[in-house]
Amino acid sequence: MQISDHINFSGVNPLIGEGSDSRFVGMTSAYDADLAAAMQRAASEEGIPLSSGVYMWFSGPSFETPAEIRMARILGADAVGMSTVPEVILARFFGLRVAAASVITNYGAGMTGAELSHAETKDMAPIGGKRLAAILKRMIAGGGTELG
């Protein structure tokens, strides 16, 4: 899933403790539109479907509860995870343009009735990772001004 926006639900921010006013980073356009378009084009050229959605960051390392997954949906999240958001915040702090994707490895708690498993996550990640690698290779090879 291409990340179009995020919700920081972790209760922390990697810029806590930064002493300068530069810590007040605007996040309205955290995900660069040109890079997002380049990623979508690359996915299309690779024949890989790439959905787009809002990612909610939970701190982990435990999986979310069914109630937390229901709340995430109510708040507008399409996927949840334990990473990515702090890296995006720091990238924007340093003035970098950002495109992000998340390899979706499993359904959220309560969606299937089964207990979540880290083993399932580890088994599924390489499959999605291979697809994402193909998209990124095509995106980088395509170059263009949007990547400059």
Q: Give the pair of three-digit tokens for residue 113.
A: 């009735």
Active site residues: 64
Buried b (16+ CB within 10 A) or exposed e, 89-120: bbebeeeebbbbbbbbbbebbeeeeeebeeee
One-letter amino acid at 77 equals A
Q: How many angstroms separate the Cα of 36 from the Cα of each of 45, 98, 137?
A: 14, 8, 14
